[in-house]
């Protein structure tokens, strides 16, 4: 029997930004075609005795290559909330796209939690197709293979409890092995949807984001995320700037870039 679920604190840490239009964020486009930028986040799940980082972001070199703007480094963001990257022991990778699996040397002690399907996907025949491979970076994939041979990768298949009150759940869709993260907090069960839904609008309107492996799985993933969460307000999309206005800042210094997702939304 599992131990009682702990109440975790959850921080969303914005590290980068990209200007984009709404027509680029939905399959079939958007008739309004208004500005609809992407923010890039990593998440920290902090308990009484353990800290888990969800996704690792990308660095300045990758930002330059991909035309993104670093607003604060991942390392500095974690430092603002009292987390030393070199002391982190567990990292959950929701999927292996460049904006979620970079910063290779940032967590030298960590064990990485990845879905079996994701590693098979990003090292298999689907990567022969540019439409599927372009969001991946070969160095990210090679770094994960290196960790595997160092004994620092823990694979998961489907749903898996990582600690009491913290679990991962395969949904696929955006990639073949994308997993979402369910976290118990004082306000209930929060689901970090990552790129299962880039924006609130994707899941609320059932209008999928156009970078996708399996549209059916993506649509079903919206349902799974809501089923696992205490309410629709407990599901956190992966790239929506609105997250930073819906939730309170960590402190005055981090207004507009670090918020507490375990707190009630505004």
Enumerate the domain spans of the chain.
9-161+239-260
10-residue mean pLDDT profile of the chain (266 residues): values are 82 99 96 96 98 99 98 98 98 99 98 99 99 98 99 99 98 99 99 99 98 99 99 98 98 98 95
Nearest C-alpha neighbor of 177 from the set 54, 93, 237: 93
Q: Using the 8-state DSSP alphabet, how is residue 21 labeled?
A: B
Structure confidence at residue 1 (pLDDT): 46
Is the CB of residue 238 less than 8 Å from the CB of residue 197?
Answer: yes
Q: What does CATH list as the number for 9-161+239-260?
A: 3.60.15.10
Is the CB of residue 135 less than 8 Å from the CB of residue 98?
Answer: yes
Nearest C-alpha neighbor of 263 from the set 224, 240, 237, 234: 234
Structure confidence at residue 2 (pLDDT): 58
Nearest C-alpha neighbor of 80 from the set 261, 244, 245, 249: 249
Which residue has 């407990």 as its token pair? 234
């Amino acid at each position: 029997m599992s131990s009682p679920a702990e109440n975790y604190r959850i921080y969303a840490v914005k590290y980068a930004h990209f200007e984009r239009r709404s027509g680029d964020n939905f399959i079939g486009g958007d008739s309004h075609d208004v500005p609809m930028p992407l923010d890039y986040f990593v998440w920290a799940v902090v308990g009484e005795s353990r800290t888990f980082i969800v996704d690792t972001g990308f660095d300045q070199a990758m930002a330059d290559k991909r035309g993104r703007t670093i607003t604060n480094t991942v390392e500095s963001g974690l430092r603002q909330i009292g987390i030393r990257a070199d002391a982190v022991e567990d990292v959950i990778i929701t999927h292996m796209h460049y904006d979620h699996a970079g910063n290779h040397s940032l967590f030298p002690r960590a064990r990485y939690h990845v879905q079996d399907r994701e590693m098979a996907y990003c090292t298999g025949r689907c990567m022969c197709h540019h439409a599927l491979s372009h969001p991946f970076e070969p160095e990210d994939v090679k770094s994960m293979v290196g960790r595997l041979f160092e004994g620092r990768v823990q694979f998961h298949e489907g749903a898996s409890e990582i600690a009491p009150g913290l679990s991962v759940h395969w949904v696929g869709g955006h990639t073949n092995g994308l997993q979402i993260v369910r976290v118990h907090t004082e306000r209930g069960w929060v689901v970090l949807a990552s790129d299962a839904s880039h924006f609130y609008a994707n899941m609320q309107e059932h209008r999928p984001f156009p970078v996708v492996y399996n549209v059916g799985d993506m649509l079903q993933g919206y349902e799974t995320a809501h089923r696992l969460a205490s309410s629709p307000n407990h599901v956190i999309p992966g790239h929506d700037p609105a997250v930073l206005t819906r939730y309170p800042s960590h402190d005055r210094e981090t207004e507009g870039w670090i918020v507490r997702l375990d707190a009630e939304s505004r």
